[in-house]
């Protein structure tokens, strides 16, 4: 059964349209990776789903409900939570409080500060530190933990590996099975194609605000993906 159905979605900021008639379906419990070059509209898509970028036209059904009619802050209660690009931790809150604020919506579930520390053991000694002194990887772990605290049904992960050292990226992705294992569906934006094909059940490649290629990693060849990524016509 599909959890999220995006139909002919167009969205953007002010006069600038970033997404054009997008169709995407995400099945319950699956991990979908969105790849694409800079400016392809990946972040706009996630922010439109989270409700902080307005949709211009089209429809989005989430769990059978019309998502576009729900304001951003209520989408968290419905089970959508987001790890924004650049982590965006709250500097006035320490690490523990940043995690606690993730549970603000009061959505029931199994995630607690202790459970987050279980999957990101590096956070244990950092809980009472101010959040603006952490390293990039630590911040990313807090941001993911913060999103998990709302016990999401669908988690939107934006640019997880951006600006992180490869070894740190590996640690962050190592936590993914623990997240999907609880039945959470994941929509991840990733620029690293290899990383995306390794973790995803399905791949969507965006180019200039439109879906260019869609399929499972097994069906798609490396050539197909790279040409879609860079917008080169595949010679066929």
Partner 1 sequence: MIWVNAIVQGVLLGGLFALFATGLSLAFGVMRFVNLAHGDLAILGAYFGVTTSDALGVNPLLSLFIVVPAMAALGYVLQRYAFNYAIGDDPLPSILVTFGLGIVIQNALLERYSADSQGLDAGSIETSSIELTDDIAIGTFPLIILGVAILVLGGLGLFLARTRMGRAFRATSDDPITARLMGINDRNIYGVVMAIAFATVALAGVFLGIRQTFGPSDGPALLLIGFEAVVIGGLGSLWGTLLGGVIIGIAQTVGNQLDVEFGFLNGPLLGHIIFLVVLLVRPNGLLGRRSR
Query: Given the rule CB under 8 A, which residues bind partner 1?
Result: 50-52, 71-77, 81-82, 84, 88, 90-93, 97, 100-102, 104-105, 146, 150
Q: Which is nearer to partner 1, 72 or 193 (CB)?
A: 72
Minimum distance from residue 194 beta carbon to partner 1 (Å):
28
Contact 88, 50 (CB under 8 A): no
173 — phi, psi (to 5°)?
-70, -25
Minimum distance from residue 86 beta carbon to partner 1 (Å):
10
Distance CA 23, CA 2 (A): 13
What does the block give as tokens for 191? 């620029």
Minimum distance from residue 166 beta carbon to partner 1 (Å):
27
Q: Which is nearer to partner 1, 128 or 233 (CB)?
A: 128
Q: Which is nearer to partner 1, 3 or 49 (CB)?
A: 49
Minimum distance from residue 51 beta carbon to partner 1 (Å):
7
Q: Which is nearer to partner 1, 76 or 225 (CB)?
A: 76
Distance CA 113, CA 124 (A): 10
Place of tokens 């050292």: 165
Q: Which is nearer to partner 1, 98 or 185 (CB)?
A: 98
DSSP state of 152: -
Minimum distance from residue 5 beta carbon to partner 1 (Å):
22
Using CA atoms of 121, 150, 187, 169 in order, give the dihedral in degrees to the nearest 10: -20
Identify the helix (H) or strand (E) that includes residue 195: helix 193-199
């Amino acid at each position: 059964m599909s959890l999220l159905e995006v139909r002919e979605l167009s969205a953007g900021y002010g006069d600038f349209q970033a997404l054009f008639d997008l169709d995407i379906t995400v099945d319950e419990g699956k991990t979908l990776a969105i790849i694409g070059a800079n400016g392809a509209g990946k972040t706009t898509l996630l922010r439109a789903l989270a409700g902080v970028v307005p949709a211009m036209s089209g429809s989005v059904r989430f769990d059978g409900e019309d998502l576009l009619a729900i304001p951003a802050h209520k989408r968290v209660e419905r089970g959508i939570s987001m790890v924004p690009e650049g982590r965006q931790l709250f500097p006035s809150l320490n690490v523990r409080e940043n995690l606690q604020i993730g549970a603000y919506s009061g959505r029931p579930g199994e995630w607690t500060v202790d459970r987050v520390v279980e999957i990101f053991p590096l956070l244990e000694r950092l809980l009472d530190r101010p959040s603006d002194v952490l390293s990039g990887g630590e911040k990313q772990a807090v941001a993911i933990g913060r999103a998990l605290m709302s016990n999401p049904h669908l988690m939107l992960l934006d640019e997880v590996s951006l600006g992180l050292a490869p070894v740190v990226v590996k640690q962050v992705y190592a936590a993914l099975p623990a997240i999907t294992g609880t039945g959470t569906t994941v929509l991840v934006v990733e620029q690293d194609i290899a990383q995306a094909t390794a973790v995803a059940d399905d791949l969507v490649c965006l180019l200039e605000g439109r879906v260019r290629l869609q399929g499972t990693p097994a069906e798609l060849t490396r050539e197909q993906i790279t040409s879609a990524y860079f917008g080169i016509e595949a010679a066929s």
